[in-house]
Amino acid sequence: MTDTQFDIAVIGGGPGGYVAAIRAAQLGLKPVVIERENLGGICLNWGCIPTKALLRAAELRHSIDEMADFGITVGEVKVDLAAVVKRSRKVAGRLSMGVKHLLKKNKVTVIAAEAKLGAAKDGLRQINLSNGDMVSAKHVIIATGARARALPNIEANGKTILTYREAMVPETMPESLIIVGSGAIGSEFASFYHDMGVKVTLFEALDRILPVEDEDVSAFVQKSFEKRGIKIMTGVKLQAVTSDANGVQASIEGQDKPLQASRMILAVGITGNTENLGLEATKIKVDRGHIVTDQWGATGEAGIYAIGDVTGPPWLAHKASHEGIICVEKITGQKDVHAIGAGAVPGCTYCRPQVASVGMTEAAAKQAGHDLKIGQFPFAGNGKAIALGDDGGFVKTIFDAKTGELLGAHMVGPEVTELIQGYAIARTLEATEAELMATIFPHPTLSEAMHESVLDAYDRAIHF
């Protein structure tokens, strides 16, 4: 290598790492990204993007089944699974190449290798690479992401017991499927596989699916899933899982007969990639598989920072990217750098129906001691949703009764993942109910339901 000394070394080229490197370059620094696998990280290559491509195929498959309601007749529907998966991988590959182009455009050095922290000397941190080389940098940002968490005594084998990686590239569709974990990943896979004709059973250890969402949203999604034919079992404790040529057998506490299925997907959360980084020779603390940082990404070791999934929940690509920008701007002494506030990160789940939220749930707001005003508006009262033939779901808004602060917003239904940014902006601007009610929402749009929900919180809803 010609260059071995940099201003910032970013370990990991995912949505946090590559964004941090580009921002560093924009600020006149000399950055390097060290990535052991694929630029774009898990999100782009094995998560956010390719799963949406799969879900789009399932959505179209479902839409064809409803064509008769729109006066359109179609012939026999056939699904070419190999082509569906191929398109998903093509989308991921295209965007990974896009990240490569962006880094090159911004003159960011990229090294394909694994990285391990070395000694600090003369204000520089040495980084040992798996290819035998070594680089050094004034600052190091760890953005190594996370991986699927395993359950005790239940090992994924890639054939009958799958992680998200194998679940995204099926060679054949199973006749039946057990999904363990009903968070965003589990619920999205349940929706995809069921729409592709698979008999799905969704396990959740807690008392409701999508447990981080508002209880009203969780209840609506569960009812919707069950109406579609997805079997849901909550409060489930797995005792053991075995597999053979016939599939998977799941032994459940309190039930004599194990549940059988062709395959199982483990979707029980993730843990940070903290191994083999040389952290043990530093003052960096790791808590329950994640690196401990302050609000700016700083660790316990001077000059070393961490961002994204490796630092803990929420495990979201947009949070990682934002943290990358904040971290670099703080390192370079930029003015008006703002840490991510509590409840500022919106969350989206792309199952059918879609789910999106930002801020506090109703239960969390009550627990925090707020007096509340709550509004709710159903998409059944929204003209655009009715015209689309997709009027299930609602928008729920939660305000502080004394100040009018928007504490939280929760949405379930058509395209809500595209709508939630409106409430996220409102919270960033510290808008109250007054500004939201005074805003003119265009007609006919799904966004009108957002306005009506705010109006409903103050007994002013027009169409409900």
> Which residues on adjacent β-strands are paired with residue 397?
375, 409
Alpha helices, DSSP H only, in 332-412?
A: 362-367, 383-388
Q: Report how far residue 87's alpha carbon sits from residue 82's, in angstroms, rounded to the nearest whole number.
A: 9
194 alpha-carbon distance from chain centroid:
21
The model's confidence at residue 2, banded by pLDDT at 50, 70 and 90, is low
Q: pLDDT for 309-357, tens place per residue?
A: 999 999 999 999 999 999 999 999 999 999 999 899 999 999 999 999 9
The residue whose two tokens read 């997709």 is: 390
Contact call for residues 378 and 464 (beta carbons, < 8 A): yes
- Cβ atoms < 10 Å from Cβ of 190: 29
Q: pLDDT for 217-261, tens place per residue?
A: 999 999 999 999 999 999 999 989 999 888 999 999 989 899 999
Positions marked active-site: 443
Segments of 209-258 assigned E as strands:
231-234, 238-244, 247-252
Q: Report how far residue 49's alpha carbon sits from residue 60's, in angstroms, rounded to the nearest whole number.
A: 17
Q: What is the mean pLDDT of the chain?
A: 95
Report the predicted TM-score, pTM, of the whole model to 2 decimal places: 0.95
Q: Are strands 263-266 and 176-180 parallel, antiparallel or unpaired?
A: parallel
Residues near 423 by Cβ (< 8 Å), separated by ≥ 6?
Answer: 346, 358, 359, 397, 406, 409, 450
151: its two tokens: 């359950």
Q: Report how far residue 47's alpha carbon sits from residue 50's, in angstroms, rounded to the nearest whole number.
A: 6
Which domains does the chain possess?
Answer: 5-148+272-331 (3.50.50.60), 161-268 (3.50.50.60), 353-457 (3.30.390.30)
- 444 cis-preceded (ω within 30 degrees of 0): yes
> Which residues on adjacent β-strands are paired with residue 136?
5, 126
Q: Dihedral of CA 417/418/422/428: which sign?
A: positive
What does the pLDDT read at residue 351?
97
Q: pLDDT for 257-277, tens place per residue?
A: 999 999 999 999 889 999 999
250: its two tokens: 């799941």
CA distances to 192, 284, 297, 454 from 340, rounded to whole Å, are: 32, 21, 11, 25
289: left (phi > 0), else alpha (psi -120 to 50), else beta?
left
What does the pLDDT read at residue 433?
97
> Which residues on adjacent β-strands are paired with residue 154?
151
What does the pLDDT read at residue 271?
93
